[in-house]
Amino acid sequence: MTARAHRSARAPGHDDDYDAVIVGGRVAGAATALLLARRGHRVLVLDRDRYGRDTLSTHALMRPAIVQLRRWGLLDRVVAAGTPPVRRVVFHYGDDPLPIDIAEPLYAPRRTVFDRILVDAAAAAGARFRFGVRVDDVLRDGGRVVGVRGRDRDGAAFTVRATVTVGADGRNSLLARRVGATVTRATTTRSAVLFGYWTGVEAAGYEWCFGSGTTGGLIPTNHDQVCVWAGMPTERFHALRGGREAAMHAILAETTPDVARRVAAGRRSGPIRGFPGQDGVMRRPWGPGWALVGDAGYFKDALTSHGMTDALRDAELLVRALDGVLSGREPEAPALSGYERRRDDLSIEFFDATARVATYDWDLRQVQADHLALSSAMQREARALTALDDVVLGSAAP
């Protein structure tokens, strides 16, 4: 039975019926919804959070993300939201700066800005969103996933049926657990980060700092703020005593004194947030009636700031596969295994280099070598995305 035929054979008594139900409405989920809706598919996105709420993440976008946002017609919206262009990246190895000017700017929109841009674009393309609803489980018909069940904000139970159920529910994905997605690659290295927002800090662009067992950085963002972060091994994070701001200043001073001085001259606005780290994992991102995208299928340490970029990439790779399935042009298994191969081919080098950097078990020469590996993986990724045709953009693309 084809995926579509399976839907017409479903039992009555369901609440709703879609081509795709997507759990999670942030970078991966909203981007997947946008592209599916632009191809004319009926999409529902469910998220337990509120629309546009901030989340535990810094937000530096890298070159491949910029390539895609431009193709999707969304880069102008990021710029129009007042996101400052980043025209220079400075790597500091200790107090030794290595500035790199970039021809085309990068951007680091706050998640409160960026996630809304994606959701609004997807909704304008016809995707439906329900926020404040929690998905508890998948629905099954034999061995196939045929939708989800959950509870709305008043605690009322609901079910949604769909030809395909997409888990875009982040690094602790419930969907991945419920479908038993196989882990295909994993790391046991994790690193921690503290971050917050400052005004009055001079930043040349993205500034990435590497010391001996510590890291840090500056990310210029909306509202004339700079996101300041300080990274460390997870063990040090758990051993921190005293205030987080003092810990950040100490780590930055150990890493790159010049950057620490510039941060000290600014003023913090808002709380400092901490992330203790989580092991990296790649999961098989598909099975009968289901797919995973974004962190749900592939999470790597935050230290290389690449999760959002990869979530956007994988949204497009997944939609390219799903469009053929939902339109009845292609059988599900070969289409979705093609998505997995493409994702893995573009990810593994980056995943492994990220795991090495996250150990903090390097000297400055070794970490520079890993940066070259990361940079070449990123260039390959950007080239692959630039070479994609515009098929998935659909007629509604600007």
Ligand X SMILES: Cc1cc2nc3c(=O)[nH]c(=O)nc-3n(C[C@H](O)[C@H](O)[C@H](O)COP(=O)(O)OP(=O)(O)OC[C@H]3O[C@@H](n4cnc5c(N)ncnc54)[C@H](O)[C@@H]3O)c2cc1C
Interacting residues toward ligand X by CB under 6 A: 23-29, 46-49, 55-60, 134-135, 168-170, 174, 193, 275, 294-296, 302, 305-309, 311
| Of 170 and 394, CB closest to ligand X | 170
For the CB of residue 12, give the shortest distance to ligand X in the complex, in Å: 25
- Asked if residue 111 lies in contact with residue 59, where contact means CB atoms within 8 angstroms, the answer is yes
CB nearer to ligand X: give 135 or 321: 135
SS3 string, the chain, reads CCHHHHHHCCCCCCCCEEEEEEECCCHHHHHHHHHHHHCCCCEEEEECCCCCCCCCCCCCCCHHHHHHHHHCCCHHHHHHCCCCCEEEEEEEECCEEEEEEEEEEECCCCHHHHHHHHHHHHHHCCCEEEECCEEEEEEEECCEEEEEEEECCCCCEEEEEEEEEEECCCCCCHHHHHHCCCEEEECCCCEEEEEEEEECCCCCCEEEEECCCCEEEEEEECCCEEEEEEEEEHHHHHHCCCCHHHHHHHHHHHHCHHHHHHHHCCEECCCCEEECCCCCEEECCEECCEEECHHHCEECCHHHCCHHHHHHHHHHHHHHHHHHHHCCCCCHHHHHHHHHHHHHHHHHHHHHHHHHHHCCCCCHHHHHHHHHHHHHHHHHHHHHHHCCCCHHHCCCCC
CB 60 to ligand X: min, Å: 4
Amino acid at site 4? R
Least Å distance, CB 194 to ligand X, is 9
Q: How far apart are CA 301 and CA 304, in angstroms?
A: 7
**Which is nearer to ligand X, 116 or 306 (by Cβ)?**
306
Instruction: Give the C-alpha distances (Å, rounded to integers) separating 191 from 125, 169, 213, 348.
Output: 38, 22, 11, 19
Hey, which residues does 131 pair with through a beta bridge?
Answer: 47
Minimum CB distance to ligand X, residue 328 (Å): 28
| Nearest-approach distance from CB 30 to ligand X, in angstroms | 8
Pick the closer one to ligand X by CB: 29 or 216: 29
CB of 130 to ligand X, least distance (A): 9
CB of 1 to ligand X, least distance (A): 28
For the CB of residue 152, give the shortest distance to ligand X in the complex, in Å: 11
For residue 249, the one-letter residue type is H
Closest-CB residue for ligand X?
307
Give whichever of 330 and 355 is closer to ligand X, judged by the CB atom.
355
CB of 181 to ligand X, least distance (A): 14
Output 17 or 137, the one with its CB closest to ligand X.
Answer: 137
